[in-house]
Amino acid sequence: MSTELAWFKSSYSGGAGGDCIEVATGCSTVHVRDSKHTDGPQLSVHAAPWAAFVVYDSGH
């Protein structure tokens, strides 16, 4: 079984480069990283708080 994450660019990131994040989902965890530094640090959060963040953020 492969443990490699499938990363995708956030829909909030612009198409001109610069400030972009990538997101990957696991079984119960969401991973976030800077698309310019893919070997750098990553933020990992449980799926429920991430879902609440996305719902909250999309309303503003």
- pLDDT tens column, 48-57: 998 888 887 5
pLDDT at 10: 73
1: in domain:
no
Helices (H), 1-60: 47-58
26: in domain:
yes
pTM: 0.73
Q: Which domain holds residue 29?
A: 8-12+19-58
2: in domain:
no
Residues 6+ apart with CB under 8 A from 15: none
Contact yes or no for 32/43 (Cβ under 8 A):
yes
- Please report where in the chains the tokens 């696991």 appear, as a residue: 26
Residues 6+ apart with CB under 8 A from 19: 13
How many structural domains comprise the chain? 1
